[in-house]
Amino acid sequence: MNSKTTSSRPERHLTTGLRVYLLRHLQVFFYSLGQLSRSPFATLMTAAVIGIALALPTGLHLMLKNARQLSGGWDGATQISLFLKRTVQEEQARRLANQIRNLPGVAGVRFISRREALNEFRRLSGFGDALTALEDNPLPSVLVIQPTLAASDPGKTGRLLQRLRQYPAVDIAQLDMQWVKRLYAIMNIVQRGVLVLAILLGIAVLLVIGNTIRLAIQNRRAEIVVMKLIGGTDGFIRRPFLYTGFWYGVFGGMIAYLLVTLSVSILAGPIEKLAGLYQHHFRLTGLDAEATLLLLLIGILLGLGGSWLAVGRHLREIEPA
């Protein structure tokens, strides 16, 4: 009985200690929010700077994502189209297709006969009526060759292309989708650019928050001195400033979200119209829940980081004298 009470006492003490600690955190959490709401204009200005800085890379990222989605339909690897001479008969063409199918580096061959080509063209081009006016089918038969994955790098496809050109039945051998590759390469560069921009703007956010917190520290110099005199630890003194940085990050992230969402809604209409002109169904996608959460999280981390830097540098300078 006696040992039971002594063993339970420190435990109870520990839980009260923890509860008090969490309560203090909660109080500072809302206290720092209250401090910010006392000067709403200044707070909004700082948060807006952060918001714009975060919105820029977020918007660019979104653009890239949409562009990738748009080009996703052409994601197949390189194809080679062999346009056969018009004198080549269908039987002959089929034999050639079988021959090519057995070549190394070829995954598959699709034969499109002249009639099929005509039908396809009629269906897709909208020149159906004009074509029926023609006496003769102007289209050649085509072999569409899909290289194996291992052979789809530019060097190997180039060699395959050379080899296919040497068949006497071949009129033109054309490497398709080269431009898709170029587009991807360009998008990769743009993506790098966005990353660099995001890092630079992230640093800017860090500095903006750091500077704001530095001013807050200077405004509350007297309070910090008193805290230090009566035994406040660095952690205790730091806490309200860290929470202030946290709030700046949250507000900045929210403003960034609003800016991006607003921009998307402004652009969505015209882009849909443009896609419609290309007979293409395309909807601009906005920020999904995951991206929004990530945006807020990055804002919060930058807010905490900026204030941590400022507090670490300036709190030591203030000593009671």
Residues of this chain that interact with other proteins (CB under 8 A) are: 16-17, 19-21, 23-24, 222-223, 225-234, 236, 319-321
Give the position of tokens 């050639």: 96
The smaller minimum CB distance to other proteins, of residues 223 and 272, is found at 223
Question: CB of 315: closest distance to other proteins in angstroms?
Answer: 12
The smaller minimum CB distance to other proteins, of residues 176 and 223, is found at 223
CA atoms within 13 A on the CB side of 184: 14
- Separation CA 120–CA 254 (nearest Å): 50
Amino acid identity for residue 71 in this structure = S
- Separation CA 262–CA 265 (nearest Å): 5
Question: CB of 240: closest distance to other proteins in angstroms?
Answer: 12
Question: CB of 72: closest distance to other proteins in angstroms?
Answer: 56
The smaller minimum CB distance to other proteins, of residues 122 and 228, is found at 228
CA-nearest of 105, 190, 104 to 153 is: 105
The smaller minimum CB distance to other proteins, of residues 281 and 316, is found at 316
Question: At 174, phi and psi to the nearest 5?
Answer: -130, 130
Question: CB of 31: closest distance to other proteins in angstroms?
Answer: 11
Task: Determine how many CB atoms are found less than 10 A away from the CB of residue 108.
Answer: 13
The smaller minimum CB distance to other proteins, of residues 26 and 134, is found at 26
Question: CB of 219: closest distance to other proteins in angstroms?
Answer: 11
Cβ atoms of residues 121 and 153 within 8 Å = no
Sign of CA dihedral 238, 244, 248, 251: positive
Q: Which residues pair with 109 in a beta bridge?
A: 145
